[in-house]
Amino acid sequence: MLKCSTSLWSADLANLETEIKRVDPFSECFHLDVADAHYTPAMLFFPDLVQALRPHTAVPFEAHLMCTDPLTWVDPFVDSGVDGIIFCYDSLGDIHAAIDAVKRHDKLVGISLTLDEGVELLDAYWASLDLVTILGTPVGTKGTLMDPSIPDKLRQARRHIERAHATTEVQSDGGIRRNTVPLIHGSGADWIVPGSLMFKEDPQEMREWLDSL
């Protein structure tokens, strides 16, 4: 069964408390895209906002650090109440140091790969990673179609993880639509990051459809 890490970027940002409570029963996690207007052109979630949202749900938060110098943001986001940190592969220098920075807080750690980054880049790290996030659209974009290469890339990630005898879970982020979810499901992903699929549809009906796949 696919699990949902619901992207709050697609929520009504002026009514986040209401939006969170509306989709809370249908989400295993909330995905917080953190953008600094340098690594990506957007500016999104910051620690004080995350801390303000934390009391409104018991569902875990994961912060996707789409920013330069992401290690400086680990402690502030952990302090704000997140349960996991996802780094962008190409924003890191010492990957082991980044993983250790999160594990020291006993939080989950993941790494995201852009469209042109192969899953083999993580072969030295599978044993330490809780999650790999396969981006299906250009980083920091919204409302874009999923690249057709993604189902095969998800299958590749699963093969590499199994070969490493690791327990890393596979997440598909970007272009999550009614027509792409069955392809993602069939490719062995554990998670999707639904945005408009959750917030623009009836979330209960959508989740019932998802669970029927």
- pTM for the whole thing? 0.97
pLDDT on residue 52 = 98
Which residues are bridge partners to 109 per DSSP? Answer: 85
- d(Cα 194, Cα 126) in Å, to the nearest integer? 25
Phi and psi at 36, nearest 5°, equal: -110, 5
pLDDT on residue 141 = 80
pLDDT on residue 75 = 98
Using CB atoms within 10 Å of the CB of residue 106, give its burial: 0 to 12 exposed, 13 to 18 middle, 19+ buried: exposed
What DSSP state is assigned to residue 53?
H
pLDDT on residue 42 = 87
pLDDT on residue 143 = 78
pLDDT on residue 64 = 98
- d(Cα 110, Cα 80) in Å, to the nearest integer? 18
pLDDT per position in the chain (213 positions), as tens? 999 999 999 999 999 999 999 999 999 999 999 999 999 988 999 999 999 999 999 999 999 999 999 999 999 999 999 999 999 999 999 999 999 999 999 999 999 999 999 999 999 999 999 999 999 998 878 778 999 999 999 999 999 999 999 999 999 999 999 999 999 999 999 999 999 999 999 999 999 999 999
The tokens describing 209, both together, are: 């459809």
CB 111 within 8 A of CB 125: yes
CA 84, 86, 92: angle at the middle one, nearest 5?
A: 135
- d(Cα 154, Cα 21) in Å, to the nearest integer? 31
